[in-house]
Structure 1
Amino acid sequence: MIELPITNLYDAGAEFFRWEIAISIACHLLGINAFDQPDVQDSKLRTLAKIKDFQQTGKLAEVDLTDAKDAKKVLHDLLANAKENSYVAINAYVPRNKEMISALQNLRVAIREKTKCAVTAGFGPRFQHSTGQFHKGGPNTGLFIQVVYDAKDDFEIPTQGLSFGTLIRAQALGDYEALIAAGRKAIRIHLNSLDDLKNLL
Structure 2
Amino acid sequence: MFVFFQEKNEIIPDRLKTLTGAGHPAITIQINNDFDLGNQMYIWEMATAVAAYFLGVNPFGQPDVEATKIHTRKMIESYKNKKNTYEEKPVLATADGDVYGDTRGKTISEVLNNFLAQQKTGDYASLQIYLNPSKEVDTATAKLRAAIFKKYKLPVTCGYGPRYLHSTGQLHKGGANCSLFIQLTEENLMNIPIPDELEKESSSLSFGELLAAQAQGDLQALKEKGRRIIRIHFPNDAAAFLKNLAAAL
Structure 2 length-normalised TM? 0.69
Tell me which of 182, 185, 188 is aligned to 2:228. Answer: 185
Report the number of matched residues. Answer: 199
Aligned alpha-carbon RMSD (Å): 2.9
Task: Measure the CA separation in 1 of the matches of 2:122 and 2:29.
Answer: 30
Find out whether 1:130 has 2:175 as its counterpart. no
Name the one with the larger helix percent. 1
Q: What's the offset of the Cα at 1:54?
A: 1.5
Change (3 A) 1:15 1:77: closer
The more displaced of 188-197 and 139-148 is 188-197
Higher relative contact order, chain-length normalized (CA < 8 Å, sep 6+): 1
Q: 1:53 aligns with which of 67, 78, 82?
A: 78
Report the TM-score, using the length of structure 1 for normalisation. Answer: 0.84
Structure 1 residue 170, shift from structure 2 partner: 0.6
Structure 1 residue 16 displacement after superposition:
5.9
Gaps of 5+ in 1: none
Residue in 2 that maps onto 1:119: 156
Gap change, CA 1:118 and 1:29, over 3 Å in 2: closer
Query: % of aligned pairs identical?
Result: 40
**2: CA distance, partners of 1:131 / 1:137:** 10
Gaps of 5+ in 2: 1-27, 99-106, 197-202
**Is the contact made by 1:89 and 1:145 (CA closer than 8 Å) also made in structure 2?**
yes
For residues 19-58 of structure 1, the aligned pairs below 5 Å read: 20=45, 23-24=48-49, 26-58=51-83
Q: Is the 8 A contact 1:84 1:117 kept in 2?
A: no
CA contact (8 A) 1:154 1:163 kept: yes
Q: Residues 129 and 184 from structure 1, CA distance in 2 versus in 1: closer, same or farther, beyond 3 angstroms?
A: same
